[in-house]
Chain A
């Protein structure tokens, strides 16, 4: 006997929720509400399909469900805020949501993967903002340093948890490590600002670009 909630009630509950939201929002958003409800139904069907062995069909259902359910807020945000800010906010919020999933952890063994996905989405948000040129350089620098620092401290917590466990006293070690990372990030950001100043006041852009490309090549060489 499978103890899953029964189908009629599940469907009616989703409908009831949709009706509750539908009457509150202006008519132009009814399609969004319907999309989220349909996405929710696909998600339920997909999860149950995976559990009963129909893995491919179930997987498709889960992906479609998540996609539909997220598509509505995505469209809404992008419509309201414009492509640049909208995508940034969407990617960023999603990344921020995945971080606690990684650290809870929602799935043991997947902490590092989820952490990478979460901070990766945050870095994507930084990249989109950079492309859309809606933020100044210092803002971008702070954002990327903070995202990398979050990943560093998070991965440190996962590794400490694996080696020492959550009941041991780890505050000093984590703060020492975090302090060092922040300092390094600060130095890097400071150097980037300095290069920017140099570029803004005098040197031809080509020279600055060549310098930066050299820096990136150094990065490739240091990839270890």
Chain B
């Protein structure tokens, strides 16, 4: 969208020239009158130049392409004047993705560009896991007098995908009736010991506990825990109440949630389990669970483009009605045996109710909750207590909750939680 405006900056000069001329006229000083007429030249100055026509091409390079978390990445942006006019006063602001912090250099630049000329500038950002898209570059062009300013944006396609590794995701006991790698509590064929029971006709001979037979003469069969496939949907809470953070330097819970969701989907997609993605917020975002080999890529593509996956919180109040209808639709789309991995900061009561409803309708829910509460203010301390209460009530209903302190990586939090649950 292009805006053309007149800056009117030469008005004051003209006014002063008139004033001086008036003094010269009334006090009969021709030299002052003449000096004032210099103002005519300055008044004509902005009208000598036509409105700048901005036609620019933006190219961007990022190095290194695959950084570690927290490493400094250099972004080099090059602008080329594609038009036929010289841009005498060009000001550029690069569209740094909202979640990346600029640590050195500046994403702002100015240049005088003749047709075909290019200008380059670079700055450093800190790498953070997640998908980051560059926003359109803002360009302000003024004519040589500064009297007319053209503001426009140049679209770009640069997207950075930096994903971290997550060790094995703990899944709950709800499974599909297909052979997989999740240890269930059902006895049958498997690796891990489950129980010994009385021999039934038809049991395989290699399962008979021969030692016991030798000792006591009883025929018993050993059964093992069956390994089955799970179907999981990683669902992120991206409603307005989830866009909260505990301090200004840290990104908000929705950003952390989507970053964690991408890592979890990548980890789960590497197992034979079926994984899908969902998000509630502006609208329902949904990718059905599947064990296809490119599920990971499909999930990333969906998350890169979907309007619910936004770094900025929704400005219009998406009413509770629309969120409730999204939850209803989500429940309809979930299979009876699909479990849900819900990523939410637990900042309001609606999400607790949603989790309990899902759990009650037969979908095992695990909640991964980034902690965005702070005890710095009285209100913040109250929020901390409320959230602890919500976690306790969810745990009381049998929902597993991972209370994630964002200073840890997702993987470490999950490993610790898993150890606790299997202890």
- The chain A residues found within 8 Å of chain B, CB to CB, are 116, 120, 123, 126-127, 130-131, 133, 136-137, 140-141, 144-145, 148, 151-152, 155-156, 159-160, 163-165, 167-170, 172-173, 176-177, 180-181, 184-185, 187-189, 191-192, 195-196, 199, 205, 208-209, 212-213, 215-216, 218-220, 222-224
Contact = CB atoms under 8 A, between A and B. Distances in A.
Contacts of A164: 91-93, 108-110
User: Which residue, B24, B41, B45, B106, has most C-beta atoms of chain A within 10 A?
Assistant: B41
B41 A130 contact: no
Given A130-B29, A140-B35, A168-B109, A163 B91 contact: yes
Contacts of A160: 91, 110
A116 B18 contact: no
Contacts of A222: 14, 40, 43-44, 47
B38 A192 contact: yes
B32 interface: yes
B42 interface: yes
B27 A131 contact: yes
Interface stretch (B5-13, B244-252, B277-285): B5-13
Nearest to B47: A222
Interface in B100-134: 105-106, 108-112, 121
B29 A133 contact: yes
B13 A176 contact: no
Interface string B16-39: 111011011101011111111111
B45 A131 contact: no
Contacts of B44: 184, 222
Given A148-B39, A151-B13, A164-B110, 15 more contacts: A123-B20, A126-B20, A140-B34, A148-B42, A159-B146, A172-B110, A172-B111, A177-B144, A180-B145, A192-B37, A195-B37, A205-B30, A219-B14, A219-B18, A222-B47
25 contacts: A130-B29, A131-B27, A131-B32, A136-B31, A137-B35, A140-B35, A151-B13, A152-B13, A155-B9, A164-B108, A165-B108, A167-B106, A167-B108, A169-B110, A173-B88, A176-B144, A177-B144, A187-B41, A195-B37, A209-B33, A212-B30, A218-B43, A219-B40, A222-B47, A223-B14
A213 B45 CA distance: 20
Contact of A212 (B6, B34, B108): B34
Given A188-B40, A223-B43, A173 B106 contact: no
A184 to B, nearest CB: 5
Given A130-B24, A209-B30, A218 B108 contact: no
Of all A-B residue pairs in the complex, the 3 with the closest CB atoms, nearest first, are A188-B41, A130-B32, A188-B38
B42 A212 contact: no
Interface of B: 6-9, 11-18, 20-21, 23-25, 27, 29-47, 88-93, 105-106, 108-112, 121, 140, 144-146
Contacts of A185: 38, 41-42
Contacts of A137: 31, 34-35
Nearest to A165: B108
Given A168-B110, A219-B43, A144 B23 contact: no
A156 B34 CA distance: 27
B24 A165 contact: no
A123 B22 CA distance: 14
A169 B121 contact: yes
A22 B145 CA distance: 52
B17 A219 contact: yes
A224 B41 contact: no
Contacts of B90: 173
B202 to A, nearest CB: 80
A118 to B, nearest CB: 13
B40 A218 contact: yes
Nearest to A187: B41
Contacts of B33: 209, 212, 216
B30 A199 contact: yes
A218 B316 CA distance: 51
A155 B177 CA distance: 74
B37 A131 contact: no
B41 A191 contact: yes
Nearest to B45: A184
Given A176-B112, A192-B38, A216 B21 contact: yes
User: Which residue, A151, A173, A223, has most C-beta atoms of chain B within 10 A?
Assistant: A173
Contacts of B23: 127, 130-131
Contact of B106 (A126, A168, A188, A219): A168
A151 B43 CA distance: 14
Contacts of A156: 146
Contacts of A184: 41-42, 44-45, 145
Nearest to A175: B112
B42 A213 contact: no
B106 A165 contact: yes
Nearest to B104: A167
B37 A191 contact: yes
A213 B41 CA distance: 15
A123 B16 contact: yes
A222 to B, nearest CB: 4
A144 B14 contact: no
Contacts of B8: 224
Given A184-B42, A213-B25, A141 B35 contact: yes
A103 B111 CA distance: 22
Contacts of A120: 16
A181 B36 CA distance: 16
Contacts of B24: 130
A189 B29 CA distance: 17
A141 B41 CA distance: 13
Given A131-B29, A173-B111, A196 B16 contact: no
Given A127-B32, A144-B20, A219-B18, A173 B40 contact: no
Contacts of A133: 29, 31
